[in-house]
Amino acid sequence: MSKITKHNRILMGIFITVFAATFLIPMGSIAAHEHTTRPFTGVKVNGGTVTHTRVGGKNVLTLSDDFKVPDTPDPHWQVVDSKGNVYLLQRLAIKGDKFNRSITLPDYIPDVAKVQIWCAFAETLLGEAPFEKPVM
């Protein structure tokens, strides 16, 4: 009898997992479309890309695994919209060798034409990666 009960519990667990994955996950939390930039080019950042996704109704930018943080004093995320407006965002580097691989964009940014890495200390553009067309 205990084998049947254990078997039934396993089947019920599988059923609940499939049901939750199918019906309970909000559609806004699933990235329906991803957009990826061309590779970064610039004086200090060459290589790596950025992917735009929508997660839970928010716009998220994520650096690719092959992105290398530039050896500069104060690199930041920066985005440029389709009208040329520039938005300086959070610092890229964190303590030690860690960095903010993803960033959730503020709601006031209407779209993103390109992503830049900006050195706030030297006030210098380190590299940029454009999208084929503005995203969001």
As a whole number, mean pLDDT of residues 53-59 equals 94
Cβ-contact 131, 78 below 8 angstroms: no
Token reading at 98: 């860690």
Distance of CA 135 to the CA centre of its chain: 13
Cβ-contact 60, 103 below 8 angstroms: yes
Using one digit for the tens of pLDDT, what is the confidence trace for 83-114?
A: 999 999 999 988 877 899 999 999 999 999 99
Residue 117 sits at the vertex; the CA angle it makes with 82 and 66, to the nearest 5 degrees, is: 110
Confidence of residue 6 (pLDDT cuts 50, 70, 90): low
pTM confidence score? 0.75
Q: Is the pLDDT of residue 59 over 90?
A: yes
Using one digit for the tens of pLDDT, what is the confidence trace for 13-44?
A: 666 665 555 454 444 444 457 999 999 999 99
Q: How far apart are CA 63 and CA 100, in angstroms?
A: 9
Q: What is the DSSP string of 40-75?
A: PBSSS--S--EEEEEETTEEEEEE-TT----SSS-E
Q: How far apart are CA 100 and CA 96, in angstroms?
A: 12
